[in-house]
Amino acid sequence: MAEGGAETSSRVVLETRDVSKQYRLEGVEVNALQAVSIAIRAGEMVSIMGPSGSGKSTLMHIIGLLDQPTSGKVILEGDDISSLSPNELAEQRNKHIGFVFQSFNLLSRTSAQANVELPLVYAGVSGAERVRRAKEALEHVGLGNRLGHFSSQLSGGQQQRVAIARALVNDPSIVLADEPTGNLDSRSGIEVMAMLQELNAQGITVVIVTHDDRIARHAQRVIRVFDGRVKAEEIVRDRVLAAQELAALSAEEVTG
């Protein structure tokens, strides 16, 4: 497939219009986001890039319906979700969005299988169906032989793949990943990026938050934020393909 990605349509799946977010902490106001308007199209892989404190995680929480803006609108699949109740937001989130975090956020003395089943428990899916779908998701990320391992018995890269399986198990159309390689060694990081590129090639819209330019260039497009504002948006000309990076690493190891 050209550029290793799926066809990107012109349909906007996720949009912010003039989104601002203020935090008030001990009387001090922080403008974490100021009039941010972005649009993510179906099938795209986009990076949101910026330095520490620029508002990336705040923006991800808002587009992931984990938090609401102080002002402005968020539109998911054409619906303005600004006025939804917390329960309705949770329902929309579970239906459309999967999350991957820097710190994996897995339960430690719990098997990979049970971690991946968790979103299905919340969604009220029956036991047998849960087992089947969690197993399928873990097989999808290459961990079919680690179903019974506790998170604490898995490598960092494997834990992040469990987290990706958990993000996929509800069949979301969008995966949001906040610094998904931040806690990984470089090879495991590349493996995780390969997985995200592969999911994207299968049609899932992927948004990655990162401060790392090389990670950002695995996407087709980069949105740069600075001081809570969108500073630039650009198409990635020299997109990094993680599968090629992995092949190069393996070749290096063989030749020593």
Residues within the interface to ligand ATP (CB under 6 A): 23, 25, 30, 32, 50, 52-58, 211
In the complex, the residues that contact Mg ion under the rule CB under 5 A are: 57
Locus of tokens 């339960």: 107
> Taking CB within 5 to 8 Å according to partner kind, which of ligand ATP, Mg ion, none is near residue 32?
ligand ATP
Q: How far is the CB of 208 from ligand ATP (least distance, A)?
A: 12
Contact 101, 163 (CB under 8 A): yes
Residue 22 Cα to chain centre, angstroms: 23
Nearer residue to ligand ATP within complex by CB, 30 or 241: 30
Give the containing element (helix H, strand E) for 128: helix 127-140
Structure tokens at 25: 């902490």
Q: How far is the CB of 103 from Mg ion (least distance, A)?
A: 11
> Taking CB within 5 to 8 Å according to partner kind, which of Mg ion, ligand ATP, none is near residue 122?
none
Q: How far is the CB of 39 from ligand ATP (least distance, A)?
A: 20
Q: What is the largest CA-CA distance in the chain?
A: 60
Structure tokens at 38: 């972005």
Nearer residue to ligand ATP within complex by CB, 77 or 212: 212
Distance CA 48, CA 219 (A): 10
What's the first-to-final CA gap in the chain, in angstroms?
Answer: 31
Nearer residue to Mg ion within complex by CB, 55 or 157: 55
Q: How far is the CB of 111 from ligand ATP (least distance, A)?
A: 30
